[in-house]
Every structure is written in structure tokens, then in C-alpha cells.
Chain A
Amino acid sequence: MAEMVIGPGEESFGVPNGKLGMWTFLVMDAMTFAGFLAGYARLRWKDPLIEGTAWPNPYETFGVFGIQLTALNTFILVCSSVTMVHALAEVMRGNMKRAENWLLFTIIGGLIFLGIQGFEWTHLILDVWPYLFDPTHSVDYNLNFAATFFALTGFHGGHVSVGVIYNLVCYLAIRRGKLTADDGDFIEVAGLYWHFVDLIWILVFTFVYLI
């Protein structure tokens, strides 16, 4: 019996299976974030159940430095999306060496993002919200703020980590010649995921830091 080929059938949407699969997966993932964001919205826009613990002004909590650092971080993540687009463009032109370099920039961008976020988490846990690990520390604070902050940025950070690993796999596959100029679809699908992670961060940044 002939080797079975799994691919689009005679009747299809005219896209590779992987692309359709990634889009449907992203619908799912968007709904996961929607769940977290809905929780955030509900907890923020209600009367505080505990007296005197109104939702803090993010600008005051994070400080000028914090907001600006995260704005820089956002800029880096957006730039890494741009380099991802370049990587795909170079694969489609057949310049695998240049595609490899652009992918490397994308990976580095993701790693810088994670590093700055790790720095920010450390700062927030140790300096801003000491009650988290010190039960004796008195709490005069809206507790939902830290909880939703860590849940949202943590879940997003997990996605960035997965994306970095995903891009790293693509990078190594190109380096070792397993992905060639004919496999633009793979890079495109990886790019879809990376752009999605980027887009979600714009939402998270807007809701949690700016508004």
C-alpha cells in the first residue's frame, strides 16, 4: 500500500492543514485569555468588598520607572514580531541564511522580554507587595490587583516562553537543513503564534498598566 499522505483533500479551504489548525488553536487560546481578562475586568470594576481598598492606580503602583520599562519591553516584543515577518519573507525568497538570522533576532527579542518581565516580577514581589511572602506584613491593599496581575502576565509569559522554544525549534531546523525554502508554511504557522502572543500582550499591557 502506498505511503499515506496527510494533507488537504480535494475539497478544502485552500490552506495547509497546519495553518487551519493554528488558527483554530488561536481561537481557543484567545478565549482562555478572555476568561482571565473577564475576571480582571469584573474584579476591577466593582465596588471593593473591603472598605478602603479601592483599585490602585497602576501608575502609582508600578512607578514611572516600571511603566516605562514595560513600555520598552512592549516595544521589544513588537520589534520581535517585525523580525519574524522578515524571517518569513526571507524564507519565501529562498535566503535561508538571512531567515536564520532574523529568527535568531526574534528569539533574542523574546528572551529579552522574558528577562525584563522576570526582573519586574522580582521587584514587585520583594518591594511592592511584601505581604505575598510575609504573612506578618499588614495588608492595606486591594488584594485582587496582585492576583490578577500575576495570573495575566504569568499566563502570557508562559506563552512567550513556549513561543521562544517554538522559534528555537524552527531556527535549529533551518540551521540543520530540515526546513528548506519549500517549507515556508512552517515558519508562517510559527509566525501566527508569535504575532498572536504579541497581540495579546498589547491588550494585557493596555488593561493592566495603562488604563
Chain B
Amino acid sequence: MNLANLPGFLAPLGKDSEKSLLTYLLEWAYTTDAKRIGVMYILFAAVCGVIGMILSIMIRAELATPGLDLMTDDLYMTLPGMHASAMIFFFIIPMYAGFANLIMPIQCGAPDMAFPRLNNAAFWLLPPAAIFAFSSYIVSTAPQFGWTAYPPLSNSVYSPQLGADLWLVGLIIVGTSSTMGAVNFLSTAFNMRCKGMTLFQLPLFTWAVIVMSFLVLASTPVLTSALIMLNLERLFPETFYFFAPEGGGDPILYQHLFWFYSHPAVYIMILPGFGMVSEIFQTFSRKPIFGYHVMVWSMVGIAVLGFIVWAHHMFTSGIGLYVRMAFMFLTMLIAVPTGIKIFSWLGTLWGGSLSFKTPMLFALGFLAMFTIGGLSGVVLASAAVDTQLHDTYYVVAHIHYVLVAGSVMTLFAGWYYWWPKATGRMYNERLGQIHFWGTTVFLNVTFFVQHYLGVQGMPRRYADYDPDFALGNLISSYGSFALAAVQIVFFINMFISFRSGERVGDNPWKDGTSLEWTIASPPDHHQFHHPPEWIPVERHHGDHHAPAAAE
């Protein structure tokens, strides 16, 4: 490939970097351009997503038939936790951060992020963090306590391996990186908007990034402090006692601190996706979003409620009955703002002139299947039912419907939606549709049966199981192999279209309304050649009291 022919922000900046690939890559590494940093985030997250997928394939391969077939217990015990950390901390969260970097400043009408160097530093914390976390496999044994790292299982008595310390350090660095990103996103979205772009004119993806950043700011540091305490306890076993019962510590304290982060974290992992599909539904329905203000406030409502429901992960930890009842009630309340969003999306689709391109298909798939995850969430929210289902495959099915059928579907939707904007070339629509249908079908084959396994009582995180569960596990395993195989279509599609896809203009979807569709594909280094001006649009869709609607 001739570097000099690359368009827009992909083009080399200097004469030297046109000739030498190394100089060109260094130019990327040192860049302060939010779009390039966004692309680096996305590529990094994609690599980690593949690693996480390989780990999940190992899990499903072992579980395909009863008995220990492929690996030892010791190896298997590391897999669920490392798969979860890879997917959560190194795939979904950085991937959203990447899209936010790529798109959010443009949607605000800003020339770049508020703190470009901080932005670069935040990205470059991620690869070392990933190396720390994954090198635990090479240096010693990876941690065997799952991604939740509950003490006392995770303290130095029961998990003496060095890998656990490496993993903890990796997670603390990831947390630092994402809070640095959040500071940057908030400052950009609040302070660098172009003329006419008032807060309630911002596109919903930008709003989603704002709300996500508040969640990151308020919750991630609590995880960091919990992990620091756990790390101190592990590294100075005779000195520091926070969670170890033998030293007067309180293991439940760790669970509170951990879930105070990790419950908001599921909204960190879904709200940007909500923003993405809001953009996509507008574009492919050729209608403004239904209930813009309600959409914004329901995101804020989800975020606020998300902070006061964490103990529903601890219904079997022995917390008080009235506490459980309060948390059960609050948890069920979250279904209300989420339901508002689902119905507003349906309202956007209603009467729209729909076009079923790949991004739209993924967004619709998200809408249908995320609802299943939401419904099983309401089931689990009930403290009485959860006592039965806790730590069974029902929980595994629920989390995967929320994160795979939810977050990952929105990530693919966003990827296809903004791919022409980022590369200037169109992907292959037929391959995209094959990818969508393959993903959707095999995702359900993989995870739906796990609901039944869970209700029958199959516990999670074990390498072996009762032969009664054999059929369900075999179906699930075949589904997961096919699901992984289908992703090859995606990578082939992206590879081909980056090389030889059809070149596109500023607004390849014809109906994109936000600012990123007014500039070149791919955008130039400074994105806007003149300071942009946003002509305010009517956001009071369906409100008959609004002045513009009265005309």
C-alpha cells in the first residue's frame, strides 16, 4: 500500500512518514489527533476482543462434553475470569472510548479533544495494562478467582500466584486510563461546542458519552481504591488487613466496593451503545429521534439509579432482608427509564421510511435481543428468585444477552455506521448482512439454552458438570464455535473494503444529520476547515406545545 495515497486524517503528515512505514507508525503513536487516537483505541480493543473470544472458545470447548477432556482444572479456573476481564476492561470499554474519540469531538463541532496530550497518554496506558493482565499466563498462573476477585479467595493465602498481582495492577491502570478519558470527554462536550450547539442540541451519542463519563468518574475510582486495598493485603500479608476475616477484615466490604463500581460499569458498557443506536435509527428511519429530551433524561435516570442498586449482586452474601428488599425494588425501577428508551426507539421507527442496511440490522437486532436480556434481568432482580439462580448459568445467559446481544451488537452497528466516515470507503453490504444474520442466529444458539441450564441448576465457573446437562452444553458449544467463525466474515469484509471498497462522499447514508456527516470522509486532520455552525433543529418531536410545531 502506498502511504502517500491515504486520504484525510489517515494521510501521513510529513514527507518522511510518506516513505517509511516506521516513521508513519511513530507519527500515529505520538499523535494528539483525537481521530487517530480513536482508531488506535478501536484497533487495540479489537485485538483484545479476539483474545477474549479465544478464551471463551477454550471455555466452551472444555464444556462441550461432561468430564475433563482438554485441560486441567487449574487452567480452566483461570479462563472465566480472564475472558471477562479481556472483554470488559480491554474490549468493550476501550472500544466505546475509541468511538467517542473518533466521533464525539466532531459531533460537538470541536477541532479536537480538550486535552489532546492527556488523550494520547490515556490510550498509551492501555497496552501496558493489557500486557500486565495477560502476561500472568506467561509469568506464572493467571488468577483463578474470576473477574470479581472476591476475598478471601483472592488473598495471598488462597491465590498465592504472582499472576493475580499482575492482573490487579493491570486493572488499576485500566481504571486510571478510563478516568483520564472521562475527564477529557466531559471537558470537550461541555466546553468546546461550536456555535449553535447548545446542550440540548447535542446528538444523543454525545449525550451518551457525557453520561457514561460521569459514571466512570464516580464509580471507577471506588474500584481502584478497593483494588489498592486488596493489593496491599496481598503484598504485605502480615501488615494490612482489610478484607481477610482472620485479621478482622470484612470480605463483604470488598463486595460492596466492587459492585459499587461494577454495577454502574454495566451502564458504562451500554449507554454509549444506546447513543449509537439512537443515531442509527434516526438515519435509517429518516426521522428525527422520538422524544429527544426524554431520551436524554432517561439516560441520566439510568445513571443515577445505577448507583443505588449494586447490592442486587449480593443477595446471597448474607445482607439484611430489608436491605435486599430495598435493592430489589430499586433494581426493578431501572426497567422504567430503559423501557422509555425502548419505546422511544420504537416511536422513531414507527412510520419511518426504513432502509435495512447492515448498521440498521445490527441496531434492530440489539433492540430485540437486548430486551430479552432486560427481561431476564428483571427476573434476577427478584431477591427470592435470585437466591435460586445465583451463580448458575442463568446469570451467564443474562450477562451475555446484555453484553453480547446488547453492547457488542451496538458496537458492530456503530462500526458499520461510521466505517465509511472513518476510512472513506464503503464495506461490502452482502458480507455485512451475512455477518449480521450469522451473529444473530449463533448468538442465540449459544446463549439461549444457557437459561435452561441455569434454571436446572448448572453452576458457573466449573470445568465439569453433571451428564444431565450434556445436551444443552453441546448446543451452546457448537453455537459459540459458529459465532466465532462468523466473525471471520467481518474481518474479511473490513480488510477488503479498506483496500478496495467503493469510495464514498461526505454523507454516504444520505440521511445523516449530525456534524460528522457534513465533513469529508475520512475527515482531515483538523476536521473542520472553518469553525462550524450548527443550525438548531427542532428537538421537541411529538410535543405540540413547541413553537415550531405550531406553525
Give me the interface of A with B, judged by CB distance under 8 Å. 1, 4-13, 15, 17, 20-21, 24-25, 27-29, 31-36, 38-39, 42-43, 46, 48-50, 53, 131-133, 135, 142-144, 146-148, 150-151, 155
User: CB < 8 Å: which of A17, A20, A42, A147 contacts B232?
Assistant: A147
B196 and A11 contact, CB distance less than 8 A: yes
A31 and B245 contact, CB distance less than 8 A: no
Closest A residue, CB atoms, query B185? A24
Q: Which of B54-62, B67-75, B104-112, B283-291 contacts A (4 or more CB under 8 A)?
A: B104-112
Residues of chain B at interface, number, CB under 8 A: 58
Q: Does B27 contact A (CB under 8 A)?
A: no
**Residue numbers in B under 8 Å from A24 (CB-CB):** 182-183, 186-187, 213, 217
A135 and B229 contact, CB distance less than 8 A: no
A10 and B195 contact, CB distance less than 8 A: yes
Interface centre among A132, A142, A143 (most CB of B within 10 A): A143
Contact with A along B189-207 (1 / 0, CB 8 A): 0111111111000000000
Q: Does B238 contact A (CB under 8 A)?
A: yes
A146 and B109 contact, CB distance less than 8 A: no
Complex Cα distance, B257 from A48, in Å, reads 20
A28 and B221 in contact, given A135-B238, A146-B239 (Cβ under 8 angstroms)? yes
**Residue numbers in B under 8 Å from A53 (CB-CB):** 248
A20 and B191 contact, CB distance less than 8 A: yes
A11 and B241 in contact, given A43-B250, A143-B247 (Cβ under 8 angstroms)? no
**Residue numbers in A under 8 Å from B190 (CB-CB):** 12-13, 20
Q: Describe A's contact surface by its main secondary structure.
A: helix
Interface centre among A11, A12, A38, A48 (most CB of B within 10 A): A11
A46 and B112 contact, CB distance less than 8 A: no
Other contacts beyond A9-B191, A50-B247: 9, CB < 8 A: A1-B529, A6-B115, A7-B192, A9-B192, A21-B183, A21-B184, A36-B225, A39-B229, A147-B249
Q: Does B253 contact A (CB under 8 A)?
A: yes
Complex Cα distance, B188 from A6, in Å, reads 10
**Residue numbers in B under 8 Å from A42 (CB-CB):** 250, 253, 256
A35 and B242 contact, CB distance less than 8 A: no
Q: Describe B's contact surface by its main secondary structure.
A: helix
Q: Does B116 contact A (CB under 8 A)?
A: yes
Please give the distance in Å from A42's CB to the nearest CB on chain B. Answer: 5
**Residue numbers in B under 8 Å from A48 (CB-CB):** 248
User: CB < 8 Å: which of A15, A25, A31, A43 contacts B253?
Assistant: A43
The 10 listed contacts between A and B (C-beta, < 8 Å) are A6-B192, A20-B114, A20-B191, A27-B217, A27-B218, A28-B182, A34-B222, A35-B224, A43-B242, A46-B250
What are the nearest 7 A-B pairs in CB distance?
A35-B225, A32-B221, A10-B195, A11-B193, A35-B222, A31-B221, A9-B192
A43 and B225 in contact, given A4-B526, A28-B182, A151-B232 (Cβ under 8 angstroms)? no
B111 and A35 contact, CB distance less than 8 A: no
Q: Does B155 contact A (CB under 8 A)?
A: no
A13 and B191 contact, CB distance less than 8 A: yes
User: CB < 8 Å: which of A31, A49, A143, A144 contacts B218?
Assistant: A31
Please give the distance in Å from A61's CB to the nearest CB on chain B. Answer: 16
User: CB < 8 Å: which of B184, B196, B219, B529 contacts A31?
Assistant: B219
B253 and A39 contact, CB distance less than 8 A: yes
B143-194 residues at the A interface, CB under 8 angstroms: 179, 182-184, 186-187, 190-194
Please give the distance in Å from A125's CB to the nearest CB on chain B. Answer: 9
Complex Cα distance, B182 from A51, in Å, reads 45
Complex Cα distance, B236 from A147, in Å, reads 10
Closest B residue, CB atoms, query A50? B248
Complex Cα distance, B467 from A9, in Å, reads 64
A28 and B217 contact, CB distance less than 8 A: yes
